[in-house]
Chains A and B, each alone.
Chain A
Amino acid sequence: MDTLNGNILSSPPYKDLTKVYDLIYYDGPLLSHFKDAKKDNILYLWVDNDGQYNRWLIFKVSDFSLYKYLKNIDSLRDLVLDPSEDFIFTADVDQSLTYSNINLFPKNEYHLLGDYIPEEGVMFSADVPDAYSFFADSFDENLYLAELKKRAVYFKIKAALRPSVSSKFGSVVPVKVVNDFLDAITKSYKNFSHYSFLEDLKDSFSTQEKLQKAAKSVVNGIEPLFVDVQQSSFSFGISNDVWSIKTDIKAVKPWSNEILKRYKDEVIEIDYNSEEEVSSILKKYDLKERRSIFKPIFDVISDTGYSVHTSDSTYKALKDIKPPSLRTSNRIIKPKQEDLVALEPQKKKLVNIVVEIPEGGEVKDLGKKKINDGLLFSTDVTKLTPAIDQLMASERTYVFARPLVYELEFDDNIYYIDYRPLNFSIQVENKDQIDSSLAKLIDDLYQELNHKADLSDEESSKKAHLDEIIQDVVPTES
């Protein structure tokens, strides 16, 4: 076994342990759960052995961390590195249950444990064992909310000391004010998250389409949740659920963990009277981005009838949120004349038309006048199912045995393309990108599946579908 260089202890770190369950077992326990006298969760992960000893990594975990591991939300590495705990132990245990070579590793020495610390991405990979079903259910109800509250940003809206406001409602805040504020926070936070995701994680995705798709999915997943409220001066907590995000991209989770705090620091509590901060905003975001992130907040915190404060969950340590000066606000969000057109691009819609054309003629040959003359009727559509006979990728053209029918949705000037048999969704901003994006996707997938040795069940099914629909692959003529 490897020599360890931790801090040697003379006795086991946790005593009076009662076995709860072997979470992972193969010919013997590999990960065992115990409770100590204080009912704390102590886990033993088998990491090494020789003829005389088994070496265990011993660590304490919170109920919530264990819950997240069992629900396949967090990895074993997340569990071992539970941020609420400051130490990990190792011990060599022999047949008589004598502990020796007991080492303590504080957080800043975890690197000394090398491969004993689980690598990224190793999940529990099974259903919650029956022994934990009650435990998991109770989390679903209570501790989930408690954890959301723990990471929440708290706000307090107070009626300003102005007769026109306070004499009418006292300290009570009208619903509309609250509603406007929540609406503004939601918009601003989601836009901030969206632009931050695109910028911060652009190197984690192989294509722009994948980045855009992930941004949409993750930002929806971490939308602000209303988790706590107090009456009187209106106080509330807003949090986000970072545990339900499903992604294979490792950088997404730590990014999600930080985004709400970053929003608080970079948008809400920022000092708008600091030239340095304002310059940083101007440098970081373009006007469209600035308006989508900062304008909703400026609108609500500039309402002089009310003051906005951030706080902790006790609502005691209030921090005043000061609106920017008019000059600063204009610098950040007021469009110049030449920007106005760019800010509000013409919104488009799709129209399905039935038009009469001469036999042997083609639609593309029709001019505007002939279309008008031959128009039988038209109707607005947002969804349709186009069919294509072939797709031309850069090097290869795919000819289909039968038309490939996909779903096309048009919303807010974005085209959303879904092809369910291959389980893909892409989005493009321009109609001219539809065929080329589809072709690239089919080409990449077809080539990948044809050159991969071991296919998963899902990949085999996709390959079978492609083989069925593709009649011929020919070189694309340049």
Chain B
Amino acid sequence: MTVKYKYAQKIEELELGDSCPPEDTSFEERQAYRFTNEDIGDSSNFIPQGIAKPARINSKQDNNVKCKLISGLSMYSTKTLALRRFSSFTKQVKKKLGYTHLAKGVVGTGDGRVTRIGKDGHFTLFELDSCDLTQKFVIIETLP
């Protein structure tokens, strides 16, 4: 059965073909934490940077980077690691990203493919077209 990714059209426009999502991703169920706005229903919480701010993609980036920017969402595997990472953002970066809250949810096998979890707890989710993360995540606390 073929699966349709949420940003398939953009993936096609950038001619990323089968390399997006990358091969070393998988369908897995995972606890996930993500920085969001106060209103979890705000759809801008779950928009890839390459869609929200197209300038973040440039012609010299390799396909893997372009793929993540145009169709990937950053998540963390634990609350501790998410907050630790947030503490490594400067005041200026926090201001520009604009996120104020930490949300928690479970990403299921029907939501998309995920990358391996990095040492800092980070992984990227490539959403399927049917995935609606605003229904799956809840705000758990305000970011410091």
Contacts and interface: CB of A to CB of B under 8 A. Distances in A.
Contacts of B60: 97
A27 B74 contact: yes
Contact of B56 (A45, A49, A125): A49
Interface string A14-51: 00000000001111111000000000000001111111
Interface string A86-102: 00000001111100000
B37 interface: no
A98 to B, nearest CB: 9
A52 B55 contact: yes
Interface stretch (B3-11, B85-93, B102-110): B85-93
A28 B48 CA distance: 9
Contacts of A27: 48-49, 69, 72-74, 97
B119 A30 contact: no
B85 A48 contact: no
A126 B84 contact: yes
Contacts of A97: 58-60
Nearest to B62: A19
A9 to B, nearest CB: 20
B113 to A, nearest CB: 16
Interface in A126-173: 126-130
Contacts of A391: none
Nearest to B142: A454
B55 A28 contact: no
Interface residues of B, number: 36
A321 interface: no
A115 B93 CA distance: 10
A306 interface: no
B136 interface: no
A115 B95 CA distance: 10
A76 interface: yes
Interface string A42-76: 00011111111110000000000000000000001
B133 interface: no
Nearest to A94: B55
Nearest to B80: A457
A25 B35 CA distance: 13
Contacts, number: 98
A119 interface: yes
Given A126-B85, A127-B120, A96 B92 contact: no
B118 A119 contact: no
Contacts of A119: 90-91
B17 to A, nearest CB: 20
A471 B36 CA distance: 43
A118 to B, nearest CB: 4
Contacts of A47: 90, 92-93, 96
B87 A125 contact: yes
A26 B121 CA distance: 12
A122 interface: yes
B55 A122 contact: no
Given A26-B97, A27-B48, A95-B54, A122 B73 contact: no
Given A28-B69, A95-B59, A46 B119 contact: no
Contacts of B56: 28, 49, 54
B139 interface: no
Contacts of B121: 126
Given A48-B96, A95-B58, A25 B90 contact: no
Contacts of A51: 53, 55
B57 interface: yes
A446 interface: no
Contact of A93 (B58, B88, B90): B58
A461 B132 CA distance: 37
Contacts of A26: 35, 74, 85, 89, 97, 122
Contacts of B120: 125-127, 129
Contacts of A53: 55
B119 A123 contact: no
Contacts of A130: 119
Nearest to B118: A129
A76 B87 CA distance: 11
A458 B119 CA distance: 23
B50 interface: yes
A406 interface: no
A24 B89 contact: yes
Given A28-B56, A122-B89, 8 more contacts: A24-B89, A47-B92, A49-B53, A54-B56, A94-B55, A95-B59, A97-B60, A125-B87
12 contacts: A24-B88, A26-B97, A27-B74, A28-B56, A47-B90, A48-B92, A95-B55, A95-B57, A118-B90, A125-B84, A126-B121, A128-B119
